[in-house]
Amino acid sequence: MKFPFSRRQSAPAAHVRLYLSLVDQSREPAFFERLGVPDTVDGRFDMIVLHVFLLLDRLRGHGERAELLAQALFDHMFSDMDQNLREMGVGDLSVGKKVKAMGEAFYGRAAAYRTGLEEAGDGALMEALRRNLFRKADPQPAVLAAMVGYLRRESTALAARPLEGFLAGVVVFGPPPSVPAATMAG
């Protein structure tokens, strides 16, 4: 039976599908369990920032449609952050300040990751990851090297994918890096 006045659920817009995929990849347990990314609000935020940065970096400089998609993705990310802060009980008067600080953190991390990816050596990228992703944790060099390899691999893979897939809301990442158990963060 059809209901003539029922509302159809439309598929989420491309930027929403992309964001959900980025969050899913960011929540892969291996990042937290094997690689020692802190499983905290900050650690999860930094994993999302890392993946959103990779996609925004891919979209940068590829025309108006890519720029509009990048802006919609960025806006959706911070709308989601605002909503999550409210759900965690952050007061209305503090949410704006916290979201502004998160935005500044995003821009700082994005600049550091972009600089690191553009350099031939891994030192700048390792330091950016140590400072931002691992924060107070002290990851082993093999863990940092694995994460640097992951960022470089995923950046290269995203660059090789056609723009049309992203515009359709599809992004695919490879698996998180693996490191020998003896080199776990600690």
- For the segment 167-185, the average pLDDT, to the nearest whole number, is 78
Those residues whose C-beta lies under 8 Å from the C-beta of residue 186, and which sit 6 or more positions away, are 36, 138, 140
Residue 75 has a pLDDT of 83
Q: Which of 75-84, 85-94, 141-150 has the lowest mean pLDDT?
A: 85-94
**Residue 105, exposed/middle/buried by CB under 10 A (0-12, 13-18, 19+)?**
middle
Q: State yes or no: pLDDT of 6 exceeds 50.
A: no
Q: For 7-52, write each residue's pLDDT tens digit.
A: 444 556 888 889 889 999 999 999 999 898 988 888 888 999 999 9
Q: How many CA atoms lie within 13 A of 134 on its CB side?
A: 24
Question: At residue 34, what is the residue type?
Answer: R
> What is the per-residue pLDDT across 120-138, written as a single tens digit (0 to 9) for each?
789 899 999 998 999 877 8
Rg value, the chain, Cα: 18
Fill in the amino acid letter for 108. Answer: G
pLDDT tens-place string over residues 101-112: 777 788 888 999
Gap between the Cα atoms of 117 and 122, Å rounded: 8
pTM to 2 decimal places:
0.84
Q: How far is the first Cα of the chain from the last one, in angstroms, to the nearest whole number?
A: 60
